[in-house]
Amino acid sequence: MRRAARRPAARPAAEPAPSTLEPRTWQGILYRPCQAGAGAVRTLFQYAGAFAPVPRPDELAWEAEAGERLVGGAVVERQGAHGMIHGPVVVEPPEGTESLEVAAQLVAALITEATAAGLDSVYARPQGLDRVWVRTGFVPMPEASLPDSLRGRPGTGLHVWRRPGSYVLATPEPGTLRSRARG
């Protein structure tokens, strides 16, 4: 049997793709893709004391703006077909708007863009936002499953979102299974 018939071919690394997503407004807050470098979002991260990766031309980033004021942002650091969300960071949303809802809107927009950009998996550090991650399809994952290219980022715990149809369950190599002793 030919190798290609047994195992799907490896996907090419994700290539930079400009955001084709339109800005959206929800409860008076404008959500939109950031310009290259996401300078304003990085300033917000710095203000909040949050880690932001080094700017790269292939990163994905969204910001939330209320009036003329930036109130939130999130960045996806890309490494091939994988990404790591940094943030979301939300600072002083308008009165009557829940911070977690602003965070959820930013994450949902990033997942939509990550899907369009061809990313197979997006990882995130929980940061106490389990409600946001679970709502957008993330599941807890062991730290050992994180690709080497995304290791060493600050934070504890790990959640992952996988593009439907882009993953298979890992199966052990033949001969590595040990029988259990019964007793």
Nearest of 101, 152, 151 to residue 129 by alpha carbon: 101
Q: How many CB atoms lie within 10 A of CB 133?
A: 23
Q: What is the DSSP letter of 163?
A: -
Residue 60 contacts residue 113 (beta carbons within 8 Å): yes
CA distance 76 to 14: 13
Q: What is the mean pLDDT of residues 98-111?
A: 94
Split at pLDDT 50, 70, 90, the class of 149 is confident
Can you give the length of the chain in residues? 183
Buried b (16+ CB within 10 A) or exposed e, 17-28: eebebeeeeeee
Distance CA 61, CA 106 (A): 9
The model's pTM: 0.77
Q: Which pLDDT score is estimated for 8?
A: 42
Give the pLDDT band of residue 147 (cuts 50, 70, 90).
confident
Query: In whole numbers, what is the pLDDT of the chain averaged over residues?
Result: 81
Report the pLDDT averaged over residues 65-83.
93
CB 163 within 8 A of CB 138: no
- In the prediction, which pLDDT does 167 show? 62
pLDDT of residue 11: 39
pLDDT band for 10, please (50, 70, 90 cuts): very low
Tell me, what's the pLDDT at 36? Answer: 73
What distance in Å separates the CA atoms of residue 167 and residue 171, rounded to the nearest whole number? 12
Domains delineated in the chain: 20-162 (3.40.630.30)
Q: pLDDT band at 106, cuts 50/70/90? A: very high
For residues 121 and 8, which has the higher predicted lDDT (pLDDT)?
Answer: 121
Per-residue tokens: 36: 């290259």
Q: What pLDDT is stored for residue 181 in this prediction?
A: 54
Q: Of 165 and 73, which is predicted with more confidence?
A: 73
